[in-house]
Structure 1
Amino acid sequence: MKFLFFPMQAHGHVNPMLPLLRELVSRGDEVVVYVTREFEAAIRNTGASPRLLDDSLAIPSSVAGLPGVGSSGVEMKKVMPALMGLMRRSLRETPRLLEQAREERADCVVYDPMAVWGRAAGKMLGLPAAIFQTSFGLSHSPTIQNALRANMKGLPPPSALLAIGRLLLTSELMHWRHGMPRFSPRSAFTTVEDLNILPVPRKYQPDAGNFDERFLFVGPSVLPRNDRGDFPLERLEGKPVLLVSLGTTPMNMRPDFYKACFEAFRDTRWLVVMACGKSLDPATLGPAPSNVLVRQHVPQLEVLERARVFLTHGGMNSTMEGLWHGVPLAVFPQFADQPLNASLVTGLGLGLTLSPQDALDPKALREAIERLDTDPGYRSRLAEFQKELREAGGPRRAADALHQFAAARRGGSPQKAA
């Protein structure tokens, strides 16, 4: 079979798909993935074939300059103008991408609901279309919907309302000119197909009982990303390793937090591996303590194999990878689904949540990490939860479902006219 994949252009959206891509390729399927240049190598490493998108469809680096980044965190409404602008550009680019995708003569489309061109491909190419949701299921979860509304903290600012209006206008124009399905910010969170794959275990999904047989909770799968580069993993051997990372987006620009970590763990027993993100020059943080390795990027999976504690922003990808490796999590959430992940991790006894005050207080920070490392209850509960992750089925179960789904719905010409 031939599958077309359309992810959102961000590490937290591409990386969870990689094990499934490799699994399908290993079965002899042809897999094509539409990505920007940043993700080309990662796609090729799975054996899939990348189709390059214009770099303008990547998460805009201008997000790093939004108010709140690098000071007190990012509220979702402050990110909205940039994200709405990205979706608007994506809508304008979609007709051209659909013509290219039509030539692929594929059997099935798999898309991230945040990737507007993928959703349009599923509707307009006449192909079976499945969703790969990289975080929680949102459509049937009042808990998550209420949490997102609370995170907005009132109405969006005028700049966000203007960006939403422009997006809706562009969507209407694309609908009348090209027959594209109408798109709204809400549809990116509520769209449901007959098959919806989620890389989390059902036990971790809020309101799990509301999700019917269309939703397949396969749990995470961890696939080496061959991204070690020149990172000195050998320096970690035999040391108590603390991994510190606030993720891969420009929203991880928190020099105040990184400097607090310097002070918290200077001259302690910990070997700290710190990823500060590509948007922040490590030199701007000043001299690092001798027991702290600072890089813009670190091979997270390889470090987690050696880590005792993970100090994270609580993005879904990082959360699942930390839990997969049985590493207690100290979660310092920034925005979006991260506060909810922090709450779930804390509620399940798999880690704890850091308030902004504690995350910037070296003494409180050090005490939290020591508690996670020395309290045996955390590792005991993590060992039980690891069973849930591995028994969920991972990429094999997802690939089985995609094959059955595509075969059951295939009929007539695979490229029905839009």
Structure 2
Amino acid sequence: MSGFLFVVPPLVGHINPAVGVAARLTADGHRVAWACADPALVRRLAGADAHVYACAGPVPGAEGAVRPPDLRGAEALRFLWEWYLLPLADAMAPGVGAAVTEFRPDVVVADQQAFAGALVAERLSVPWATSATTSAEFTGAYDGLPKVAAWLRSQLAALRTRIGTAAGTADPRYSPHLLLVFSTPELIGPQAPLGERIHYVGPSLADRPAGPGFPWEWLDPGRAKVLVTLGTANADAGGRFLAECRTALRERADRVQTVLVDPTAPPSADGTDKDVLTLPSVPQLPLLERMDAVVCHAGHNTVCEALWHGVPLVVAPIRDDQPVVAGQVVDAGAGLRVRFGRVTAPRLGATLDTVLHDPAHRAAAARIRAAFRAAGGARAAANHLARLAAATHG
């Protein structure tokens, strides 16, 4: 059996897809360990018995790692790299190196934003695979921004001189051995690149730790049901948008019931509000089985989880890869887009009405659902990793 070291940033959306893959590898008898700047988060998501090597590094929400909520576009991207991704790589590198030396993996599975995993593996001559938890990097997102693309390349080249090897040539975002993309061309579109090392495995969904109980009896079978969520990293920017959502959805309370995720608001889980249930967190995967539409920020995980269940979307991207993912949803016909910073309740309501009642959006979501489920998910990803490990011994 082989050993696999998962190197992940301390971000829920990047760890969750790897959890299912790691569980499959473990079930097949392989050795699995993790390297992360937040071991407690990995154990919360992957299980208390997860073997985690602690690394230094900034954790979102800590001093210096808080991004101003009004940053958008290129400014937000530059902040993400300069104040988070690059410092994270520098800080994680010693811990990743120690983990590789002690655990002796056959393959390092490096998240696409955990650059230390790829560069340290390359320096130590260990084969590595990319865990691409968003497909934005594969869609030519920087084709119209040559200066941005050049700046990113220069930053990665400088990072290699600090923590990698001067003899290395691979971009740490794209393994030359194996790229696991947790999506499919049916969502990404015709620009999805092809190659022997690129494998589109669809979403990797695994059982999640049980959170606070959800009042399932609150759901009204006589009304359409909508989930509104901005994910785990956007509470700082969502106040105005969520307020517009509440207004729009209350105006439709005779035919629509809403579950709204707002980490900053007091919960309304006592059931006295029969129209809009506000909670700081929800059991998203089982809840999606009951939903008719999702309003979200176009985060890759939320989008893919909704489409895994065949649920169409209204997407309101905020920053980072979200505009690219939102474009994929719209181009695939599986939803509509609104402007996060400027949408009004009337506009949002009208858009939601279209998504709920136009059968074309649900048909497109069903088409992507079929493609996702045929792609193999965590099982397919684990098989590709096992073959890469076997090839290293051949």
Q: Please report the TM-score for the alignment, with normalisation by the length of structure 2.
A: 0.85
- 2:262 corresponding residue in structure 1: 276
Instruction: Indicate if the aligned counterparts of 1:64 and 1:253 stay in contact, CA closer than 8 A.
Output: no
- 2:52 corresponding residue in structure 1: 50
Candidates 262, 280, 284, aligned match of 2:246: 262
Q: CA deviation at 1:254?
A: 1.5
Partner SS, residue 398 of structure 1: helix
Q: Distance in 1 between matches of 2:133 and 2:226?
A: 26
| Greater mean alpha carbon deviation, residues 225-234 or residues 388-397 | 225-234
Partner SS, residue 113 of structure 2: coil
- 2:360 corresponding residue in structure 1: 377
- 2:21 corresponding residue in structure 1: 20
Percent identity over paired residues:
25
Candidates 33, 36, 41, aligned match of 1:38: 41
Instruction: Indicate if the aligned counterparts of 2:202 and 2:373 stay in contact, CA closer than 8 A.
Output: yes
Candidates 204, 218, 221, aligned match of 2:201: 218
Query: What letter corresponds to residue 347 of structure 1 in structure 2?
Result: D
Q: Distance in 2 between matches of 1:49 and 1:234?
A: 38
Candidates 193, 197, 218, aligned match of 1:235: 218
CA-to-aligned-CA distance 1:181-200 (integer Å, 9 cap, x gap): 789xx9454x3321111111
Instruction: Indicate if the aligned counterparts of 2:299 and 2:325 stay in contact, CA closer than 8 A.
Output: yes
Q: Distance in 2 between matches of 1:170 and 1:402?
A: 26
Q: Report whether the alignment pairs 1:202 with 2:185.
A: yes
- 1:337 corresponding residue in structure 2: 321
- 1:299 corresponding residue in structure 2: 283
- 2:143 corresponding residue in structure 1: 146
Q: CA deviation at 1:315?
A: 1.2
Query: What letter corresponds to residue 113 of structure 2 in structure 1?
Result: M
Q: Distance in 2 between matches of 1:59 and 1:26?
A: 31
Query: What letter corresponds to residue 51 of structure 1 in structure 2?
Result: Y
Decide whether aligned partners of structure 1 residues 309 and 64 sit closer, same or farther in structure 2, where only a CA change above 3 A counts. Answer: farther
CA RMSD of aligned residues (A): 3.2
Q: Distance in 2 between matches of 1:123 and 1:296?
A: 41
Query: What letter corresponds to residue 204 of structure 2 in structure 1?
Result: S
Decide whether aligned partners of structure 1 residues 98 and 7 sit closer, same or farther in structure 2, where only a CA change above 3 A counts. Answer: same
- 2:106 corresponding residue in structure 1: 107
CA-to-aligned-CA distance 1:222-277 (integer Å, 9 cap, x gap): 22313432332332252532100111114652211111112112251322111124
- 1:392 corresponding residue in structure 2: 375
Q: Distance in 1 between matches of 2:365 and 2:306?
A: 10
Q: CA deviation at 1:388?
A: 0.9
- 2:70 corresponding residue in structure 1: 68
Decide whether aligned partners of structure 1 residues 48 and 76 sit closer, same or farther in structure 2, where only a CA change above 3 A counts. Answer: farther
Q: Unpaired segments of 5 or more residues in structure 2?
A: none
- 1:414 corresponding residue in structure 2: none
- 1:365 corresponding residue in structure 2: 348
Decide whether aligned partners of structure 1 residues 220 and 125 sit closer, same or farther in structure 2, where only a CA change above 3 A counts. Answer: same
Query: What letter corresponds to residue 350 of structure 1 in structure 2?
Result: A
CA-to-aligned-CA distance 1:48-69 (integer Å, 9 cap, x gap): 4233334x43234556551516
Q: Distance in 2 between matches of 1:276 and 1:237?
A: 21
Q: Distance in 2 between matches of 1:59 and 1:164?
A: 24
Decide whether aligned partners of structure 1 residues 111 and 397 sit closer, same or farther in structure 2, where only a CA change above 3 A counts. Answer: same
| Greater mean alpha carbon deviation, residues 205-214 or residues 247-256 | 205-214
Decide whether aligned partners of structure 1 residues 91 and 291 sit closer, same or farther in structure 2, where only a CA change above 3 A counts. Answer: same
Query: What letter corresponds to residue 5 of structure 1 in structure 2?
Result: F
- 1:90 corresponding residue in structure 2: 89
- 2:388 corresponding residue in structure 1: 405
Query: What letter corresponds to residue 222 of structure 1 in structure 2?
Result: L
Q: Please report the TM-score for the alignment, with normalisation by the length of structure 1.
A: 0.81
Candidates 294, 297, 320, aligned match of 1:313: 297
Partner SS, residue 364 of structure 1: helix
Instruction: Indicate if the aligned counterparts of 1:311 and 1:331 stay in contact, CA closer than 8 A.
Output: yes
Instruction: Indicate if the aligned counterparts of 1:85 and 1:167 stay in contact, CA closer than 8 A.
Output: no
Q: CA deviation at 1:290?
A: 5.1
Partner SS, residue 103 of structure 1: helix
CA-to-aligned-CA distance 1:116-150 (integer Å, 9 cap, x gap): 221133213322211111111636x43x2226x39
Q: CA deviation at 1:19?
A: 1.5
Q: CA deviation at 1:207?
A: 4.8
Partner SS, residue 307 of structure 1: coil
Decide whether aligned partners of structure 1 residues 259 and 182 sit closer, same or farther in structure 2, where only a CA change above 3 A counts. Answer: farther
Decide whether aligned partners of structure 1 residues 4 and 242 sit closer, same or farther in structure 2, where only a CA change above 3 A counts. Answer: same
Q: Distance in 2 between matches of 1:263 and 1:289?
A: 14
- Between the two proteins, the alignment pairs up a number of residues equal to 382
CA-to-aligned-CA distance 1:35-90 (integer Å, 9 cap, x gap): 31223221117x74233334x43234556551516xxxx33423533542332253
Q: CA deviation at 1:204?
A: 2.7
Decide whether aligned partners of structure 1 residues 297 and 91 sit closer, same or farther in structure 2, where only a CA change above 3 A counts. Answer: same
Partner SS, residue 6 of structure 2: strand
